[in-house]
Structure 1
Amino acid sequence: MSVTAAARPIRVALVDDYDVVLTGLAHMFDRYRDRVLVCEIDANADLSDEVDIVLYDSFAQPESDHQELRGLVKNPRASRVVVYTWNFQPELVDSARGQGIHGYLSKTLPARDLVAALESVHAGETVISDPPKRAGSALGLDWPGRHEGFTDRESEILALITQGKNNADVARLTYLSPNTVKSYIRSIYRKIDVSSRTQAVLWGVDHGFAPDHHRIDHWLGGP
């Protein structure tokens, strides 16, 4: 993908409920500051909250409910909205496109390809990544629990459990089978040395797995 860089860096707001996810994603752009200016939600005062692209990271958020996407697409402060995810179920992609998003990008993209994709979106294209052939995260990306040995999928599942989702909810939201969800939960329990869901939730709350919904509310017109 070859796109001429804009005269000024593209202003990109990162939208996610988790500080560690935002920080890890922001660091992916460190080498591309001449092309991408990262604006975290609570640090946009100098830009009056007006950005070229909102990059919506779907970590541990219910992708089957696109209320947030609808709000972001309608928000006049954001010229374009891009979903950043590892979940490429066809119905999710079709639903997001129906909401009017301008890109649906894989978390397996290396930073250079992610920047190029954002430049294409900024130039007016709609960019949909090819579904990843296998699970994996882009180099430099971060998520809660990574340093405790969790995979990104395990972290997403623990975050959903910490939000109060039951196994059926988790399976529906992640498009995994109930047995696969149970396997992930058993692995999570072993890694944090707990034996019950209550203990896992308490551990999650203490280790950054409780979302800060204010970040999304801010972009949807809340306080």
Structure 2
Amino acid sequence: MARPRPPVRVALVDGYDVVLTGLAHMFDQYRDRIVVCEIDANAELSDEIDIVMYDSFAQPESDQSELAKLVANPRAARVVVYTWNFHPALVDSALEQGVHGYLSKTLPARDLVAALETVHAGEQVVSEPPRAGTSTRALDWPGKSEGLSDRESEILALITQGKSNADVASLTYLSPNTVKSYIRNIYRKIGASSRTRAVLWGVAHGFTPDHHRIDHWLGGP
């Protein structure tokens, strides 16, 4: 009788507690196949990791040096990007940096688990680009309870980090007009009358990332 395969050991890398917790809970029914080994970078990591799963929520996706550092990290056998942004330039750049998977946040849990197992087996996996308007309904993100979509929350998180509209458009590969439309919807939903008010709301509602967690995996302190 064949011996059962051990579960894939996954480390989740993101600067937002609610995003990490929601992602970890996606694997609750698949604990025999996926083990989440790390969420908190403040704890010393002794396990070897099969896959580092980099959730790109409100991270500077155009800064591909981050992905290169993750790929070069000897503690991780493989690296996958977990994102809603499938702009061809981003996908091509990530693959050139050596990532082993580029996975969509619209994947249901069973398909996400299967994709991670395929990556662990040595194959490269790139999801089909999500259809326009498709949301990651199974996950949590800052502002979800206030009615913000995942993309609206990501844009608000970038604004809270001090990014201009031009910066947001560049980082998300959205047009300036699309960014302005998202921002108008954000203001309406959170009751903000100005950018300053929106930033203050963001700071008060968990939109400030914990960069220490990201730095930990990138070789920082």
TM-score by length of 1: 0.94
CA distance in 1, matches of 2:187, 2:42: 39
Work out whether residues 60 and 171 of structure 2, in 8 Å CA contact, stay in contact via their aligned partners in 1: yes
Corresponding residue number in structure 2 for 1:200: 198
Q: Distance in 1 between matches of 2:4 and 2:134?
A: 30
CA contact (8 A) 2:148 2:186 kept: yes
Number of positions where the alignment pairs a residue of Structure 1 with one of Structure 2: 220
Gaps of 5+ in 1: none
Q: Secondary structure at 1:42's aligned position in 2?
A: coil
Alignment CA distance shift 1:107-1:6 (3 Å)? farther
Supply the AA of the counterpart residue of 1:26: A
For residues 164-179 of structure 1, the aligned pairs below 5 Å read 164-179=162-177
CA–CA distance in 1 between the matches of 2:182 and 2:3? 42
Root-mean-square deviation (Å): 1.8
Q: CA deviation at 1:44?
A: 8.8
| Partner Cα separation in structure 1 for residue 125 and residue 75 of structure 2 | 21
The corresponding residue for 1:29 is 27
Kindly state the Cα deviation for residue 6 of structure 1 after the two structures are TM-superposed: 6.2
1:182–1:202: structure 2 CA closer, same or farther, 3 Å change rule? same
- CA distance in 1: counterparts of 2:172 and 2:40, whole angstroms: 28
Q: 1:34-113, aligned counterparts within 5 Å?
A: 34-42=32-40, 48-113=46-111
Give the structure 2 partner of residue 17 of structure 1: 15
Query: Match of 2:58, SS?
Result: coil
Q: Distance in 2 between matches of 1:118 and 1:44?
A: 25
Structure 2 counterpart of 1:143, one-letter code: W
Deviation (angstroms), 1:139: 4.1
Deviation beyond 4 Å, 4+ runs, structure 1: 43-47
- Give the structure 2 partner of residue 186 of structure 1: 184
Q: 1:62 to 1:79 in 2, by over 3 A?
A: same
- The C-alpha deviation readout for 1:134-170, integer Å capped at 9, x for no partner, is 2323442111000000000100000000000000001
How far is 1:175 from its partner? 1.1
The more displaced of 173-182 and 134-143 is: 134-143
Kindly state the Cα deviation for residue 45 of structure 1 after the two structures are TM-superposed.
Answer: 5.6
Q: Alpha carbons of 1:89 and 1:76: their partners in 2 closer, same or farther (altered >3 Å)?
A: same
Look up the equivalent residue of 1:168 and give its one-letter code. Answer: A
Q: Among residues 149, 152, 158, which one is paired with 1:154 in the alignment? A: 152
Match of 1:143 among 120, 141, 144: 141
Q: Secondary structure at the match of 1:54?
A: strand
1:85-144 C-alpha deviation (Å, 9 max, x unpaired) = 011111100000000000000011000000000000000000011111223234421110
Distance 2:106 2:4 in 1: 25
State the TM-score, normalizing by the size of structure 2: 0.95
- Report % sequence identity: 79
Aligned partner of 1:219 in structure 2 is 217
